[in-house]
Amino acid sequence: MLALEGLTQIDADGRVLPRLAARWEWENDQRRLRVFLRPDVQFHDGTRLTAAVAARILKIIVDNPNSPRLYPSLAFVESVAAEGDFQLVFNLTDRSAFLPEDLSVLLKLDNNDVGTGPYRITKRERSEVVLERFDTYHSGIPAIRRVVIRPFDTLRTTWTSLLRGDVDMVTDVPPNSVEFVRSDDIQVVAWQRWYQYMLLFNSRRPPFKSPAVRRALNLAVDRTALIERVLNGDGTPAIGPLWPKYWAYDPSASTASSYDPAQAEALLDGAGFRMPARSTSAGLPPARLRFTCLVPERFSIWERIALEVQKSLFNIGVDMQVKVVPFGEFNTLLGEGRFSEGGFDAAIVDMISGPTPGRAYIFWRSAEDFQGANVFGYENADAERMFHVLRTNTNEAAVRTATGRLQRIFSEDPPALFLAWNERARAVRRTFTVHQDAGRDPLTTLWRWTPESLMQRASTQ
């Protein structure tokens, strides 16, 4: 974030903005993208960012078979070539309107830490990473000369170091600690992330093959109460995988109620999951259905969310057993679901879902047709058609219509139990004036922060 940059960046409403690119334009019936680079950019070693250098870096990224899983439009890039000193030309095998946003992929010179960002990495060890300001940064000289990043084993030692003045910022403040750490000396800067907590279903396994069951479980959870109890009120209820602040989002398109346990029970009855008079499993309460939810070890907030969901589902006769596993095992079990029933029923995750439909495209497109990150078995032909429209159109009216239709599809056939768009907070000593762009992580503008020493100097001049 401090050392590397992409050709583009994505705004909080999902619009694509210039970064190392000054502008771009579509050609050849939207099968060619011409990108005009800024002429004033250097890498940390003094290398100029020319079209030839950018083309060489991007060819490596495009040729990497793993790249399309996170940047799906790269699968359609047939060639990338330089024209002159500052023009890049991408030729595509098919239209891919997601290409400008996917050009936010970070550029590294010769696959190392040499980037174009406001800070250059001068030391990288397990004990600390040191970054020095890049005095020829294209957007201006950073006010902070040096950034040292150190890990702490516990929150207690982190807070102690912050309050003593040994460190200037703590990067991640848990929701229940915000009020504890805020003081006359410490400011807490929060923003809403493009991530949401959700309970993922393995849709290849019964009962989650049924859209009615998935819809019922979404209706069973009071998201507002969960946010208050677990996240200390720092979050926004989520009812689908699309970012609600996306410029083409239709607030009227989500037809399902966010909390209706009576309707949830009716849907389960209709799907054949009626409440039995007695338990069929020794030592367990009667239940309409039972399943196991994975939670990675030492992810305490995720575990608390899982327990809150467990209570809500129990109220409609669904028995969700929470299973805490080491993080490595958690990832392995989820990965096994790519082309089979896999090793899990459900799992709690904190997953990127915004700010564009390109994020949903990665996770919820058909696993049979797209080698993305859909390890959950979700298949919906109508969603596939809308994703195709979004991928192949730059017309804003078409994008709005397809986005609204996709919202309705996900409302009727939810691929997961969507819970809350979450917030993150940075704790910063008040000796810094923090510059923050609306809706974005304040770390992205750290190079514009002003230390107290510079503020005092400016006030006397």
Give the model's confidence band at 458: pLDDT under 50 very low, under 70 low, under 90 confident, else very high: very low
193-422 shares the fold of 8-111: no
Give the model's confidence band at 340: pLDDT under 50 very low, under 70 low, under 90 confident, else very high: low
Q: Which of 17-26, 44-53, 273-282 has the lowest mean pLDDT?
A: 273-282
Task: For residue 235, give both structure tokens.
Answer: 């979050």
Choose among 227, 347, 232, 217: nearest CA to 271.
217
Q: What is the mean pLDDT of residues 340-350?
A: 86
Q: Where are the domains of the chain?
A: 8-111, 193-422
- How many CB atoms are located within 10 Å of the residue 36 CB? 16
Q: Among 224-228, 336-340, 376-380, which range has the highest average pLDDT?
A: 224-228
Q: Which of 73-87, 229-243, 325-339 has the lowest mean pLDDT?
A: 325-339
**Per-residue pLDDT at 172:** 84
Q: Domain 8-111 carries which CATH code?
A: 3.90.76.10
- State pTM to two decimals: 0.92
Across all residues in the chain, what is the average pLDDT? 92
CA–CA distance, 80 with 135 (Å, rounded to integer): 31
Q: What is the mean pLDDT of residues 158-175?
A: 88
Q: Which amino acid is at 185?
A: D
Give the model's confidence band at 251: pLDDT under 50 very low, under 70 low, under 90 confident, else very high: very high
Q: Which of 45-59, 118-132, 214-228, 443-457 has the lowest mean pLDDT?
A: 443-457
Is the CB of residue 20 less than 8 Å from the CB of residue 7? yes
Q: Is 223 helix (H, G, I), strand (E, B) or coil?
A: helix
Q: Which of 200-204, 221-225, 371-375, 405-409 has the lowest mean pLDDT?
A: 371-375
Q: Domain 193-422 carries which CATH code?
A: 3.10.105.10
**Per-residue pLDDT at 343:** 81
460 has pLDDT over 70: no
